A and B are shown apart, each in its own frame.
Chain A
Amino acid sequence: MTLTLTRRILLGTAFVFGLAGAAAADYPDRAITLVIPFAAGGSTDVVGRIVAERMSADLGQQVVVQNVGGAGGSLGATQVAEADPDGYTILMGTVATHALNPLILKQKPYDPVADFAPVSLLVLVPNVLAVNPELPVQNVQELIDLAKTQPLAYASSGNGTPLHLSGELFKAMAGVDITHIPYKGSGPALTDVLGNQVPIIFDNLPSASGHITSGKLRALGVTTAERAPSFPDVPAIAETLPGYETYSWNALFAPAGTPPEAVARLNAAAVAAMADPAVVARMGEFSASIVASSPEELAQHVKAEMTKWEPVVTDANVTMD
């Protein structure tokens, strides 16, 4: 009784119903939800919103961003893994949700390979090793030498984050011990390094770039194999420690079982969005390099990342329940 009443009222006030259309041919015929598994305002959120806006124009349907933060991205990823595989719920996955968390978490809420249909690897974002300018080191080698003679500490955005593991990989490859100090996010970690409470930081290049440019932080090296185009004067850590390579990445995933036509349509929209000059310019300012891969390439990438990180996670003994 009450239900029919609600419905009549709804119709009476001319609400538009967004009922699911099952046919793939007219996909998408309603708004698509892009789940961002982190709080609004972070770098994944920024990338997601820029891409969502451009994809909406291409798909002719609104791509609505929904932030589902929590548990290092696991909550949002789990929500998408369990969502209806109809192409109307997709995830902005990251190195955390699709490589690190599955390795770190003791209880695995989802399987990064089996539970998802890859759509497209969008961008790679370099990390950076930087120090407070009062620390008497000019390059990576001097830092390694100093770390061998005196105890040092480095700040990261949190336990088990890509930045923490970048630091652990650095320690392992350089053969030094530097105490890890985790923070709740990149902002507070940066504050303490700027105030020289902690001398060293591993951070995302986009969030540290303003401080590097102004000289408040001294960048010793970027974590990508090559130098970052936005900072050609900052060497790659790999120039001192050959083979060192880490980066953060963002990629679109749909739940496993999503119709291939829908995945293809989403992939086309994502690739088109990443080719848009305005998006290219934004990503450039953001120090992110565009990949815009095929679904198959993303599947390969996820496997490669898990293979790469597994020994680092094991050696650093990073776990979470």
Chain B
Amino acid sequence: MELLSNLGLGFSVASSFANLGFCLIGVLLGTLIGVLPGIGATATIAMLLPITFQLEPVSSLIMLAGIYYGAQYGGSTTAILINMPGESSSAVTAIDGYQMARKGRAGTALATAALGSFFAGTVATFLVAIFAPPLTAIALEFGAAEYFSLMVLGLVMSVALAHGTVLKALAMVILGLLLGIVGTDIYTGTPRFTLGITQFADGLNFVALAVGVFGIAEILRNLEDEHERQVMTRNINRLFPSGPELRQIIGPVLRGTGVGSVLGILPGGGAILASFASYTLEKKLSKHPEEFGHGAIAGVAGPESANNAGAQTSFIPLLTLGIPANPVMALMIGAMIIQGIVPGPGVVTEQPDLFWGIIASMWIGNLMLVVLNLPLIGLWVKLLTVPYYVLFPIIMAMCSIGVYSVNSNVYDLFAVAFFGFLGYVLSKLRFEPAPLLLGFVLGPLLEENLRRAMILSRGDPTTFVTRPISAGLLVLALAVLVLVFLPQIRKRREEVFTESDG
């Protein structure tokens, strides 16, 4: 068995004393910084990149990978505890995770996230080990038309994220798409919606938007009436999921792992969709879809598994092709080049110890994270007993540093304030932020690929249905659309005779 000998080589590299140490440092640093609000994996790795230059190539990449998935774990923690996602993937976790926390189930939510992530990480690591080359071939089949259709599917799914009216969710998606357009048009170089501010030439900063519409809007909501409103329930009885709860999360974790593993492979937006797709799937399959948005445990288990599986499999294009699937992977490539490794298809054959060592370390890192995080849950939950008026100045300070550290761009901080205001106004008007965020992330990809596909097909719009993968995705999008709107229409008929507004 070549696979076994390869994995053996990998584990022998990854379990050397030094590499275990660097893996531990990586996941520890990643978790700690990921937990700080407003600072996601990209900012973390960019900050810590210089530290790794002094190390051996394998060690430095193991450490960077550790920081990456450590920050993902940590990011979920902030999403659940204070409704402040640092990455697009944890924005979904925030929806139900934060509601669970408000109901005193923060420990359960955190444990669910940790266990789901560990399971997904394990499965995805083995997928990477076994199927990396054939999966790469699939990823290369995706051209502009396929990506466009995938984004359409993603947007359709985002409507299902909303627990309010579909109409308002759609409006949020479109507002998000428009905000995503801010910046320089990549085809003509024309600035759009930048109001003449050069600092917005590369678009609005995701972290600024997410921190604003989720985190700051939430702080403001909590400050509305300090005398009457208790921000968090103080009685946190149990940390770990009970038996029935464990049974509840098995299905979502399995499905989330599958969805995340597949989507994570696609460079350019695949992994972004993983947690959204999983949430939609769970909401549709659930017997109690009305619980979603009010603290459904499946709404944490599924997306968290999906996002961690996607995080692992997004290493596939990096390791087999040397192509970055997301900004974090681009940083990893920079790290490889600085270490004198030429990223590309040659890495597997020329440096098998590096390739398999990183894969083995992913699993070790996930194991470390779950061991590290389960005991930490108690500590995180205690944070909730800190009075809110002490907590939020700290949050504001961390956000300011985090957002500024990404690009040293002062305008990103102005954007935080603006989107905090916008987010608060929107929440007062009962709009939901998650569809807005998804629209914002997918908007540029949607337009970019639509226009590229049209140029490549020489203006023939049938390109979207004559290419089989693209056609399949569009059919799927149509099916989701029907699934989303049918219950609405049916409910409308029932409502005709009542006065409730659903």
Contact = CB atoms under 8 A, between A and B. Distances in A.
Contacts of B456: 153, 181, 197-198
Given A69-B407, A185-B330, A320-B184, A49 B50 contact: yes
Contacts of A216: 321, 344-345
Interface in B195-215: 198-199, 201-202
A197 B143 contact: yes
A196 B140 CA distance: 8
Contacts of A190: 323
A191 B344 contact: no
Contacts of A195: 139-143
B53 A49 contact: yes
Given A71-B198, A191-B140, A213 B342 contact: yes
Given A41-B333, A109-B198, A151-B458, A191 B268 contact: yes
B342 A210 contact: yes
Contact of B187 (A159, A198, A213): A159
Given A179-B455, A195-B143, A50 B338 contact: yes
Contacts of B46: 39-40, 67
B408 to A, nearest CB: 5
Nearest to A284: B340
A315 interface: no
A2 to B, nearest CB: 15
B189 to A, nearest CB: 4
Nearest to B333: A41
A321 B321 contact: no
B448 interface: yes
A195 B324 CA distance: 15
Interface in A175-209: 179, 181-185, 187-188, 190-192, 194-198, 206, 209
Contacts of A194: 140, 321, 323
Interface residues of A, number: 60
Contacts of B302: none
Which of A188, A197, A209 has the largest count of B CB atoms less than 10 A from its CB? A197
A46 interface: yes
A160 B186 CA distance: 9
Given A65-B50, A70-B202, A46 B337 contact: yes
B498 interface: no
Interface string A58-70: 0000000111111
Contacts of B338: 46, 49-50, 282
A214 B321 CA distance: 10
Given A67-B408, A191-B140, A320-B184, A75 B201 contact: yes
Interface residues of B, number: 52
B345 A211 contact: yes
A318 B455 CA distance: 18
A181 B186 CA distance: 10
B472 interface: no
Given A40-B46, A75-B198, A192-B143, A213 B346 contact: yes
Nearest to B145: A197
A192 B455 CA distance: 14
Given A214-B346, A318-B189, A321-B189, A53 B53 contact: yes
Contacts of A209: 342, 344
Contacts, number: 146
Nearest to A212: B344
Contacts of A66: 408
Which of A46, A187, A196, A319 has the largest count of B CB atoms less than 10 A from its CB? A187
A68 B144 contact: no
Contacts of B327: 39
B201 A74 contact: yes
Nearest to B329: A187
B76 to A, nearest CB: 24
B322 interface: yes
Contact of B330 (A41, A151, A159, A211): A41
A231 interface: no
Contacts of B452: 181
Contacts of A181: 452, 455-456
A282 B340 contact: yes
Contacts of A43: 337
A206 B452 CA distance: 26
A142 B171 CA distance: 52
A122 B191 CA distance: 32
A214 B347 CA distance: 10
Interface in B38-72: 46, 49-50, 53
B334 A41 contact: yes
A41 B344 contact: no
B143 A184 contact: no
B186 A211 contact: no
Interface in B85-101: none
Given A39-B327, A159-B189, A68 B409 contact: yes
Interface in B392-438: 407-409
A244 interface: no
Contacts of A104: 189
Nearest to A193: B140
Nearest to B345: A214
Contact of B448 (A67, A184, A285): A184
Interface string B437-461: 0000000000010001001101000
Contacts of A188: 267-268, 323
B198 A74 contact: yes
Interface in A65-108: 65-72, 74-75, 78-79, 104
A159 B186 contact: yes
Given A39-B327, A50-B338, A183-B186, A70 B199 contact: yes
Contacts of B330: 39, 41-42, 185, 187
Interface string A281-321: 11001100000000000000000000000000000001111
B332 to A, nearest CB: 8
A78 B199 CA distance: 11
B189 A320 contact: yes
Given A194-B321, A286-B337, A71 B202 contact: yes
A133 interface: no
Nearest to B348: A214
25 contacts: A40-B49, A41-B332, A46-B334, A49-B53, A69-B202, A70-B407, A70-B409, A71-B202, A72-B201, A79-B408, A159-B187, A181-B455, A181-B456, A192-B143, A195-B139, A195-B141, A197-B143, A206-B337, A210-B342, A210-B345, A211-B322, A211-B345, A213-B344, A318-B189, A320-B184
Interface of B: 46, 49-50, 53, 139-144, 184, 186-191, 198-199, 201-202, 267-268, 317, 321-324, 327, 330-335, 337-338, 340, 342-347, 407-409, 448, 452, 455-456, 458
Give the top 7 A-B pairs by smallest Cβ distance, nearest first: A210-B344, A41-B334, A195-B140, A320-B189, A197-B143, A71-B201, A41-B331
Given A159-B188, A197-B144, A216-B344, 9 more contacts: A71-B198, A74-B201, A153-B456, A181-B455, A181-B456, A191-B317, A194-B140, A198-B456, A214-B344
